[in-house]
Structure 1
């Protein structure tokens, strides 16, 4: 079975690292992915998160695009309730003008932040309710048939940057199916509704100008290392840091305190969130991903290489590529 592989990069700011160093690591990750035959690298919009440097995906894509030449780059995704459809059409229309045929635009309904950050962004918390209408408006700008009289996206109009609907519930599945768009499910951190969402999407899909048949992308965590022990140790550190970031309320924890936290319901919750994870040697990871691809009913996997160390993350990207030589590109 061939593996169609992509990468989700959150531009993690590792322990003791700066945002600048994180962005430089993202450039190197994309260059490595390009050499290794991955289809695309996407960047996720998050705000007010001290360990993530991808708060401005369009800016990050522009920078990475200048240091790569063939790999597709995109947002996975832009949280549309934080923006006007016109501004996103202009941003990604600009990117498409800079890097023709290489830009993707994934769209999410969640704000990607908490209530205080939503206020700081000057966004209306109810904006998510208009997500379906806003996606349609954005699609029309990019198609060059604006639904707002007298307003065009410049650049952007007629660029037809491909759209993807992102989701972690069945809501996005129904919308993607109705609009005839590809659907990307965030199973790398929200696994519970994966099968219900994919089933609904495939059952309800309506062909569109962009897509004539369903296309499912499923997220999965990956830690490939030269030894299974190294991979497991690396993934354990990721789980521990994730638990602290979710439940630590800004506190600094000792290792002993993290040990206690991981034994609580909070630690168990993190384990459930990251339950779709291919961890081990390259052969272990390939076997897991083949099984996951089939079980998820996916056409493509977007891999979140979960290592805190930049070198370990790059090694994971390379090792997976080595056992997926028949990767579809």
Structure 2
């Protein structure tokens, strides 16, 4: 049966504040927990006016502290921005505070613009090229204590925090397969290589101490409501956000609009529709049909939804409708 989870960027809406965004994230995580979602991940982005999750480990602690059993983690930590030891200490501490509830998803993109990336990690090229070695170094810090090794940092040694690799190309799929790690594909904003990456990951997977067989997740955007029209209306916030980001003018999450044609050009519209072609937008019946088709086509083990909607109550509604669709799928599979 396919698990279902949430990706959240702690969106700051127009006129809102980071404090409100972070409070909403914790409230939404509680809602997701009550609906049976498996995990709740937040993402590392920097210098973005509409995203409050830059200090990702801190936000994970905030959310885990406000929930009871849902897994909480990063989707992801952009490892080239950091020393592996620092990330190991952060997530080892989180695992000590919230045992068996913390995930560490890793990506190799900067999660920001190039100027900010240089401020974060100084040497962009060397950091990106060292990603495979950094992942393995991080695995060693989080794995069993080795008395023969000089560096066994506390509290991360022996924490065995599950590591995931995230990606939108074949690189991380190949690395996840070689290291025997679970793999999450960013099809919610970069869908083009989804099927190739999943095939490479499954074909080349090598069992590891963490994982015996391949485990694949894929992301989709979502906006669900009582009618298709209402869901499409609320999704215009995400569409505007993407257009403004592509224009080099990112901002806070905008209010939905009745007419996107007054905002985007035809080429921009085609680009947005291509990018979000797997999005679950519509009524409960529409969302259920789209989710079932996506899961069947990809064969994924877990579906992760992101709902960057302006209206907080509609975010909760979206998660409720998706959970109903996936829950019904589970019931049908069990019968």
Q: Aligning the two structures, in what range does the TM-score lie when normalised by the shorter sequence?
A: over 0.9
Q: Deviations over 1:128-176 (max 9, x none)?
A: 1010010011011110356994112211100100000000000000000
For 1:247 and 1:22, the matched residues in 2 are separated by 24
Q: Cα gap change, 1:145/1:15 in structure 2, threshold over 3 Å: closer, same or farther?
A: same
TM-score (norm 2): 0.92
Aligned to 1:221: 221
RMSD value, Cα: 2.3
Aligned to 1:298: 300
For 2:147 and 2:262, the matched residues in 1 are separated by 55
Aligned to 2:246: 246
Tell me whether 1:271 sits opposite 2:273 in the alignment. Answer: yes
Number of residues of Structure 1 aligned to a counterpart in Structure 2: 327
- Structure 1 regions of 5+ residues with no counterpart? none
- SS at 1:30 equivalent: helix
Aligned to 1:182: 182
Offset of residue 65 of structure 1: 1.1
The within-5 A match list for 1:127-276 is 127-145=127-145, 149-249=149-249, 259=261, 261-276=263-278
Offset of residue 248 of structure 1: 4.8
Aligned to 2:333: none
For 1:23 and 1:49, the matched residues in 2 are separated by 15
- SS at 1:24 equivalent: helix
TM-score (norm 1): 0.94
- Structure 2 regions of 5+ residues with no counterpart? 331-335
* Contact 1:220 1:304 survives alignment (8 Å): yes
Aligned to 2:26: 27
* Contact 2:5 2:37 survives alignment (8 Å): yes
Aligned to 1:322: 324
Which 10-residue stretch deviates more, 288-297 or 213-222?
288-297
Aligned to 1:47: 46
Aligned to 1:121: 120
